[in-house]
């Protein structure tokens, strides 16, 4: 199946005003603080707020509207909520502002008590578009799919999954085991590094294939260039195969997937003074220094305190 690489690659200009806000919220977390701040900001400026329906979301905090009718999509929750908002906003080329209810994440960079200031900065065009890449995933017998974080192909039960991975029609590796993960640079900080794959730094143009534990052989993670095409031929075991896109289970049992990169598939709202990706990963202790270095730091702190 041929990939449509031009799909969803449009960018947007910063709007002069923010007259309509579309809202996507976490289904269970306490969102009262940022929600009150958003409503207070909107009421004081006669801005309309409505909720954008997303799959699996039945929590209602506002009247329902369409993403094409808004100027900005605000996601209140965690990175999963922000991903749902990005999926909803991408076809309409609307920017997404991620507000964290919990720890700040990769896509949720605004603290709950800072939402009004963030909306002010957005409405005055004091924001930076963060262009988000995505994986265009072509199926052998189904509709094309889209993933902004990753695509995970794992065994659905008993038995191993056999994967044949080709890069631009050249065989890379065949492996039998738990499956594999294909990730964008943003998604590489999630399932990919948890599986032992590389962290792709911000600005890297490409994506990465990380095999999950397999039965023997040698298959290192493969970093793929932005114009290359990765093809995965999948032979499920007795228990079948499970395909997840951005953490959501897809209702599909593909025999092959063809994956390419869309370098600018959606837009997230950023600000020049926000925390960097690397700083955020260290703050959340996803990246941790060597124990020897941490012990040396602790000794220096103790010596300084005793002096």
Q: What is the pLDDT of residues 58-98, one digit of tens each?
A: 888 889 999 999 999 999 999 999 999 999 999 999 999 99
Asked if pLDDT for residue 128 goes beyond 60, the answer is: yes
Residue 139 shares a structural domain with residue 114: no
d(CA 195, CA 22): 35
Residue 175 shares a structural domain with residue 253: yes
Residue 114 shares a structural domain with residue 92: yes
Residue 215 shares a structural domain with residue 249: yes
Neighbours of 74 (CB within 10 A): 30
Instruction: Please state the domain count of the chain.
Output: 2
Of the listed ranges 116-125, 244-253, 259-268, the least confidently predicted one is 244-253
Domain CATH code at residue 194: 2.60.200.30
Helix ranges, the chain (H): 32-45, 79-89, 115-123, 191-194, 277-283, 291-306
Asked if pLDDT for residue 14 goes beyond 90, the answer is: no
Query: 178 an active-site residue?
Result: no
Percentage of the residues of the chain whose pLDDT score is greater than 70: 94
Please state, rounded to an integer, the average pLDDT across all residues of the chain.
90
Residue 93 shares a structural domain with residue 69: yes
Kindly state the helix (H) or strand (E) to which residue 211 belongs, with its residue range.
strand 207-211
Whether the Cβ atoms of residue 136 and residue 261 lie closer than 8 Å to each other: yes
> By residue range, what is the domain housing residue 111?
20-124
Whether the Cβ atoms of residue 191 and residue 181 lie closer than 8 Å to each other: yes
Does 293 reside within a domain? no
Residue-level pLDDT at 11: 37
Catalytic residue among 79, 150, 178, 246: 79
Residue 78 shares a structural domain with residue 53: yes
Tokens for 297? 């730091």
Q: Which residues contact 263 (CB under 8 A, 6 or more apart)?
A: 9, 131, 133, 205, 226
Does 168 reside within a domain? yes
Does 81 reside within a domain? yes
Asked if pLDDT for residue 138 goes beyond 80, the answer is: yes
Does 151 reside within a domain? yes
* Average pLDDT, integer, range 22-30: 93
Residue-level pLDDT at 141: 79
Residue 100 shares a structural domain with residue 220: no
Asked if pLDDT for residue 15 goes beyond 60, the answer is: no
Residue 111 shares a structural domain with residue 166: no
Residue 162 shares a structural domain with residue 115: no
């Amino acid at each position: 199946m041929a990939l449509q690489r031009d799909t969803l690659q449009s960018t947007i200009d910063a709007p002069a005003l923010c007259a309509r806000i579309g809202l996507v919220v976490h289904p269970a977390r306490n969102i009262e603080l940022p929600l009150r701040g958003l409503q207070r900001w909107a009421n004081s400026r006669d801005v309309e707020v409505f909720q954008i329906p997303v799959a699996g979301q039945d929590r209602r905090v506002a009247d329902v509207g369409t993403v094409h009718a808004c100027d900005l999509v605000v996601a209140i929750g965690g990175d999963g909520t922000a991903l749902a908002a990005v999926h909803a906003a991408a076809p309409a080329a609307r920017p997404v502002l991620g507000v964290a209810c919990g720890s700040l994440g990769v896509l949720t960079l605004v603290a709950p008590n800072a939402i009004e200031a963030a909306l002010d900065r957005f409405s005055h065009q004091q924001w930076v578009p963060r262009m988000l890449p995505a994986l265009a995933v072509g199926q052998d017998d189904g509709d094309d799919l889209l993933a902004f974080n990753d695509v995970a192909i794992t065994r659905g039960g008993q038995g191993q999954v056999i994967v044949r991975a080709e890069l631009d029609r050249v065989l890379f590796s065949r492996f039998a085991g738990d499956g594999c993960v294909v990730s964008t640079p943003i998604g590489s900080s999630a399932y990919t590094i948890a599986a032992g794959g590389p962290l792709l730094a911000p600005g890297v143009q490409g994506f990465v294939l990380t095999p999950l534990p397999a039965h023997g052989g040698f298959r290192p993670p493969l970093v793929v260039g932005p114009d290359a095409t990765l093809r995965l031929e999948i032979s499920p075991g007795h228990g079948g195969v499970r395909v997840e896109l951005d953490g959501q289970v897809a209702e599909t049992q593909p025999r092959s997937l063809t994956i390419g990169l869309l370098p600018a598939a959606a837009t997230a709202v950023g600000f020049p003074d926000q925390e960097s990706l690397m700083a955020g990963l260290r703050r959340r202790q996803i990246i941790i220094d060597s124990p020897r270095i941490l012990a040396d730091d602790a000794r220096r702190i103790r010596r300084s305190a005793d002096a």
